[in-house]
Amino acid sequence: MNHTVETPITPARDIEFWFDFGSNYSYLSVMRIEAQAEARGVRIRWRPFLLGPVFRALGFDNSPFVLQKEKGAYVWKDMERQCRKYGIALTRPSVFPRAALLAMRVALLGAEREWIGAYCREIMQQNFVHDRDIGSMEVVSEALAKLGLPAQQIIADAQRDANKLRLREQTEAAAAKGIFGAPTFFVGDEMFWGNDRLEDALDFCYSSPC
């Protein structure tokens, strides 16, 4: 009798997660990605970037959800549905899109640290649940302190010129990769755009033997 030994399917790659704290659909992905990736044994590469400069390079001076009234109305109705689907709280921000430069600089600084996921979820909830100014020193400090982190030192490091430059360079890298919105996921060179493609991107991390 011939016995065939099947080679198990294993994760092929990490997933790059490109996001902006002002992005409503990034909110959905930030709240979901760690649990989804852990369930599949996939490692997340957190890639915070500034969506505003990307939009401006594409000829938009604001979010398309603001510039196009009908699209904007649809999007917030869709957000309500999606948040019900995932069991995620939602309060439509009184300012949208909300600038979050300091919060983004901290995210970049912490991208390789174990607290990055919890920090990103906290900042997103401050914006899309509590409707607070996530670009402020107060909110960012509170978010870090809530996680038991040295807020003053982390913020000082995030505000150093080298880290500011890194965020600009990361934003330029996003544009160079062809990113036009957030969230965007990369598995190798394969790009997936939008929260509704998160599972597809994670599934793509697995490859079957030839």
Residue 85 phi, psi dihedral angles, 5° rounding: -60, -45
Complete domains list, the chain, with CATH? 12-205 (3.40.30.10)
Q: Which of 23, 26, 29, 63 is catalytic?
A: 23
pLDDT in tens, 25-40: 999 999 999 999 999 9
For residues 4 and 182, which has the higher predicted lDDT (pLDDT)?
182
23 flagged as catalytic: yes
Residue 42 token pair: 């996939």
Give the sign of the dihedral formed by CA 114, CA 31, CA 184, CA 182: negative
pLDDT in tens, 160-187: 999 999 999 999 999 999 999 999 999 9
**What mean pLDDT value characterizes the chain?**
90
pLDDT at 12: 53
Instruction: Give the Cα separation of 51 and 14 in Å (integer).
Output: 23
Whole-angstrom CA distances from 60 to 25, 55, 57, 67, 191 are: 18, 5, 7, 8, 22
Half-sphere CA count of 179, side-chain side, radius 13 A: 29
pLDDT at 208 over 50: no
Longest dimension (CA), the chain: 70
pTM of the model: 0.89
